[in-house]
Amino acid sequence: MNIQTKKYFFCAAALVFLLAAAHTETKTPEITSALKSIMGELEAVFPENSSLLGVQPDAYIGKLFPSVPPHFTAGLNVSGTFVDTGFLSDNVQKIGDSISDFLSESGVVDTLSIDFDMPERIPYPSAGISARLGGIFLPFDIGLYGITTIGNVLDSMKFDDAHVSIDYTTFGADIRYALYEGSFFLPKISIGGGYMYSRQEMK
């Protein structure tokens, strides 16, 4: 069976499975569990890249006004997290086994083999921008930041017959108030809070 025929065969078999699954739930728990496991692992990885947005060299940068010079910061950050793909390949195999068992029990096909082989680790790169403005009169500062996956890097990954696309975007803001502005020898101490919005998609 050549590659093209195998792809059409797999698509047809998967369609039969999905249509039949609409009338039975005997095999869906295994698939649901595997998908939840995949998403749970990814949700644990994604925040690692977002954490770079909270990295600041000072707990308090100083006042924007009155101050000479005015205090503000701006920067571009690049990060990369290497993801262990064992959880992904293992769960995809579980899904394939469940589909194969279902098709075999239904008499559609004896066995189904999914060729899915990934590197042990894949990079998850991202780039973020940030800006922070010092306060006016009072010792506070405000931060704005955003981060997104780098285009044309994670949207066209291919492992054998599997295509993977990951998209991730986060933006947010925070405000910090300096409890102690520090000195040359003593550290700065601030307290703050903020809001962050994240959107992630995997295909």
- CA 91/CA 100 separation, integer angstroms: 14
Distance CA 169, CA 15 (A): 32
Q: Which two tokens stand for residue 83?
A: 């993801």
Residue 9, pLDDT > 50, answer: no
Summarize pLDDT for 42-81 with one digit per residue, the tens. Answer: 777 777 667 666 677 889 999 999 999 999 999 887 777 7
Could you tell me the pLDDT band of residue 28, with boundaries at 50, 70 and 90? Answer: low
Q: Is the pLDDT score of 177 beyond 80?
A: yes
Give the contacts of 1 (CB within 8 A, at least 6 positions apart). 9
pLDDT at 134: 96
Of the chain, the percentage scoring pLDDT greater than 90 comes to 24
Amino acid at 84: D
pTM above 0.75, yes or no: no
Q: Bigger pLDDT: 24 or 85?
A: 85
pLDDT tens digits, 179-193? 999 988 999 999 999
Q: Can you give the C-alpha Rg of the chain in angstroms?
A: 25
- What is the pLDDT confidence band of residue 5, given thresholds at 50, 70 and 90? very low
Give the pLDDT score at 56: 79
Quick: pLDDT tens for 93-142: 787 778 777 777 777 665 666 666 677 887 777 778 899 999 999 999 99
Cα 86 to Cα 74: distance, rounded to the nearest angstrom: 38
C-beta separation of 173 from 94 below 8 A: no
The first and second tokens of residue 155, run together, are: 């949207």
24 pLDDT band, cuts 50/70/90, is very low
